[in-house]
Amino acid sequence: MNPSNDNQHVESEEKQKGEQIERREQALPSRAMATHEQIRHEGEKELERDAMALLWSAIAAGMSMGASLMAKGIFHVHLEGVPGAFMIECLGYTFGFIIVIMARQQLFTENTVTAVLPVMHKPGAGNLLLLLRLWGLVVLGNLAGTALAALAINFMPVFDEPTRAAFSEIGAAVMHNSPGEMFAKAIVSGWLIGTMVWMLPAAGSARIWVIILMTWLIALGDTTHIVVGSVEIFFLVFNGEASWSEFLWPFALPTLAGNIIGGTFIFALISHAQIRNDMANQKKSRSAQVE
């Protein structure tokens, strides 16, 4: 496969006809379909992006996610003994997501919804290969970025010992989960990220509040997330508190699988299913007009 992806294009009915995906709400049968088509349009653009552009954007996203660990650790230290400290500490979890999503960097769990809709719309080997290519590049880039962020947090003389101890405590709390708990909690976080992606097109000026509320809920629920969690566990690996094998199991593999299932096989499938009848009725209407 050409790494630059210059000759790779998503297969869709619109492309076969030389048309654009219709995204105007007034021209579509329902608001849900308008949202679906807007996300599918974004998904097609992501699937066709240059491989190196995807990779560097994913690395940047992984590094940006270091902000979540930093904010949680700082809050943890300075709010010790304060009533409701847990609620505010969890708010720190949102920082990395705000940076990544507002800067339009490549975050893996977003793509479990956005990029999968074109494949659901027109299943085929070509679209599936593009999806796997996107996922592979983004996961690789995200993990590389989180590793760099954890290295910087660990070895640069920026944080005092109480804050570094808080970082270790945060990572250790994640590692207390069994593989089954990692997997189940990751399904929930994948589903919540999918919900957020579905809400963003209609959010308008409230976009940042949608990001804050949904990712804050992920933290409050003590769920697991492959990218944010990677910063936390890489910190433990680099300071000798966890091994590379422990990073892979019980953390990375169950969490990655849970995020994919929560975002793709649950939320994206349900979201696509709810507008299938609308799409079928629209096709019938167009066929009748042609006849």
Who wins on pLDDT, 21 or 132? 132
**Rounded distance, CA 121 to CA 243, Å?**
42
Query: Which sequence spans correspond to the domains of the chain?
Result: 30-281
- Tens digit of each residue's pLDDT (9 = 90 or more) over 80-108: 889 999 999 999 999 999 999 999 999 99
Q: Phi/psi at 201 (nearest 5 deg)? A: -60, -30
CA 51 to chain centre: 18
- pLDDT band at residue 36 using 50, 70 and 90 as cut-offs: confident
Closest residue by Cα to residue 37 from 117, 112, 111, 107 = 117
Tokens 């048309």 sit on residue: 19
Superfamily of chain region 30-281: Glycerol uptake facilitator protein. (1.20.1080.10)
- Tens digit of each residue's pLDDT (9 = 90 or more) over 244-284: 999 999 999 999 999 999 987 777 777 767 776 666 566 55
Return the DSSP state at 3. T
Mean pLDDT of 59-65: 98
CA 126 to chain centre: 23
Q: What does the block give as tokens for 96?
A: 């990395």
Residue 7 has pLDDT above 70, yes or no: no
Closest residue by Cα to residue 117 from 106, 127, 105 = 127
Largest CA distance in the chain: 75
**Rounded distance, CA 131 to CA 139, Å?**
12
Average pLDDT, the chain: 88
- pLDDT band at residue 3 using 50, 70 and 90 as cut-offs: very low
**Rounded distance, CA 37 to CA 22, Å?**
7
- Tens digit of each residue's pLDDT (9 = 90 or more) over 140-199: 999 999 999 999 999 999 999 999 999 999 999 999 999 999 999 999 999 999 899 989
Length of the chain: 291
pLDDT at 183: 98
pLDDT at 64: 98
Q: What value does the CA radius of gyration of the chain take, rounded to a whole number of Å?
A: 20
